[in-house]
Amino acid sequence: MVGGGGREHAIIKKLKESPEAEEIYALPGNGGMEEAVCVPIAATDLDGIVSFALEQKIDYAVVAPDDPLVLGLVDLLEAKGIPCFGPRKNAAVIEGSKAFAKDLMKRYGIPTAAFEVFTDEETAIRYLDTAPLPTVIKADGLALGKGVIIAQTRQEAKRAVHAMMSEKAFGKSGETVIIEEFLTGPEVSVLSFTDGATVVPMVSSMDHKRALDGDEGLNTGGMGTVAPNPYYTEEVAKICMDTIFLPTMKAMNAEGRTFRGCLYFGLMITPKGPRVIEYNCRFGDPETQVVLPLLETDLLTVMRAVTEGRLDQVPVRFKDACACCVILASDGYPKSYEKGFAIDIPDSVKKDVFAAGVKKSESGALLTNGGRVLGVTAVEATLEDAVKKAYEKAESTRFENRYFRKDIGKRALSAKE
């Protein structure tokens, strides 16, 4: 397992249920991952990872984070004969370059926000003189989920473009910018398994990206999730399959960029129908922490079928239940925060905890070590119960300066009514 966050912990826990999974190594993993042997090799140390995999005679690799996928880790491992779950570099570009993704959608008629791509600041600024407001400014490349600005005024929009293109606020990622139409409607995350011939959507989910209750405050990596997402009705699912999922898979094949792995569709259900907001070339975090606990089928079996191009032969089933994950963060996240506080997880909650910003002290105690510290998930028959239970578990999992949103699932519950 390459990666070290809550998503990776959720994948590891699920893989551990497989009778075929022997030892799992996590590179670098984190101090809260008891099910894996953590090895201090960074997820972006491609050479280090390949050497380790060869030394340990690794049978199968799962590459979870965006950067090693976009950098081409899967290609390097495959070249050494190590089968992988995750797209090759030429397919991971669907997340690595928003300009690529937008152009793909335009050429293949996949519904998304109208847009223009700019590589020159002056032209972008001139375009903003007449662009409809609000307008959305996006850095082309990976920007830790922070490269999207929704500007209410022209001045704000121009400032964002200047910050990305001249001040290099996101480094090379902002040398190209996309300016796009502002869409409205509920957002839905759909993770899917695809081997390039078949696409199998997983249960839908809803992320809560802002730091504060009521979707206020700064954007974060995600403060909580629920699954399934009530806005993703059967009717919407069918439209998405026909107009987005299959066309995207086929478009990537036609480009000679067959995508094998988890393709994440970030969707907005607008009054005019579902639109693609973004593609990710990997499992979402913290979507995975609610989606995989609902997966009934053996995950390793599904992953291998994806790698070997026989996904059509594996029935992928999800429980008819609901899940809620509440992220316990360090107060101050996503800005500055203190870390190094002792974490107390009740034994009854341990199996439902996904560790992210966690390290182990020399004495073996768990300490906070990041902004998002843990995710706590509950699976129940109804969404209402899942939310209630997740909050009970969140309350009982303690550390100094713990912060969590109090309204995860609220919007989904009111949508159901």
218 contacts 210 by C-beta, under 8 angstroms: yes
284 binds ligand GLY (CB under 6 A): yes
Q: Which stretch in 28-36, 78-86, 145-153, 284-292 sits in contact with ligand AMP by CB under 6 A?
A: 145-153
Q: Which stretch in 27-35, 282-290, 292-300, 398-406 sits in contact with ligand GLY by CB under 6 A?
A: 282-290
CA 281/CA 107 separation, integer angstroms: 20
277 binds, among ligand GLY, ligand AMP, none (CB under 5 to 8 A by kind): ligand AMP
CA 134/CA 162 separation, integer angstroms: 17
Q: 153 burial class (0-12, 13-18, 19+ CB within 10 angstroms)?
A: exposed
DSSP for 179-216, please give it: EEE---S-EEEEEEEE-SS-EEE---BEE--EEETTTE
For residue 82, the one-letter residue type is I
Which of 135, 220, 280, 377: binder of ligand GLY (CB under 6 A)? 280
285 binds ligand GLY (CB under 6 A): yes
CB of 372: closest distance to ligand GLY in angstroms? 11
Nearest one of 284, 402, 286 to 345, comparing CA atoms: 402
Closest-approach residue to ligand AMP (CB)? 278
Nearest one of 366, 78, 50 to 27, comparing CA atoms: 50
The contacts of residue 96 (CB under 8 Å, 6+ apart) are: 66, 69, 70, 141, 142, 281
Q: In whole angstroms, what separates CA 317 from the centre of its chain?
A: 21
CA atoms within 13 A on the CB side of 287: 25
Closest-approach residue to ligand GLY (CB)? 284
Q: Which stretch in 123-131, 181-189, 301-309, 398-406 sits in contact with ligand AMP by CB under 6 A?
A: 181-189
Structure tokens at 187: 């957002």
Strand pairing class (353-355; 372-380): antiparallel
CB of 288: closest distance to ligand GLY in angstroms? 8
> Mask 133-152, x = binds ligand GLY (CB under 6 A)?
------------x-------
Among residues 175 and 181, whose Cβ is nearest to ligand AMP? 181
Among residues 118 and 283, whose Cβ is nearest to ligand GLY? 283
Residue with tokens 């491609």: 46
212 binds ligand AMP (CB under 6 A): no
User: How many residues lie near ligand AMP (CB under 6 A)?
Assistant: 14
Q: Give start and end residues of each alpha helix (H) in 170-314.
A: 234-240, 246-254, 288-291, 299-308
Among residues 5 and 28, whose Cβ is nearest to ligand GLY? 5
Among residues 139 and 314, whose Cβ is nearest to ligand AMP? 139
Phi, psi of 322 (to 5 degrees): -125, 150
Q: Which stretch in 13-21, 57-65, 179-187, 303-311 sits in contact with ligand AMP by CB under 6 A?
A: 179-187
CA distance between the termini of the chain: 40
185 binds ligand AMP (CB under 6 A): no
298 binds ligand GLY (CB under 6 A): no
CA 221/CA 297 separation, integer angstroms: 28
Residue 311 DSSP class: G
360 binds, among ligand AMP, ligand GLY, none (CB under 5 to 8 A by kind): none
180 binds ligand AMP (CB under 6 A): yes
Which of 116, 187, 255, 407: binder of ligand AMP (CB under 6 A)? 187
Which of 28, 65, 87, 222: binder of ligand GLY (CB under 6 A)? 222
CA-CA distances (angstroms) from residue 212 to 23, 48, 147, 208, 209?
A: 39, 38, 19, 9, 9
148 binds, among ligand GLY, ligand AMP, none (CB under 5 to 8 A by kind): ligand AMP
148 binds ligand AMP (CB under 6 A): yes
How many CB atoms sit inside 10 A of residue 239's CB? 15
182 binds, among ligand GLY, ligand AMP, none (CB under 5 to 8 A by kind): ligand AMP
Interface ranges with ligand AMP (CB under 6 A) = 113, 136, 145, 148, 150, 180-183, 187, 209, 266, 277-278
Enumerate binding residues for ligand GLY (CB under 6 A).
Answer: 145, 207, 222, 280, 284-285, 287
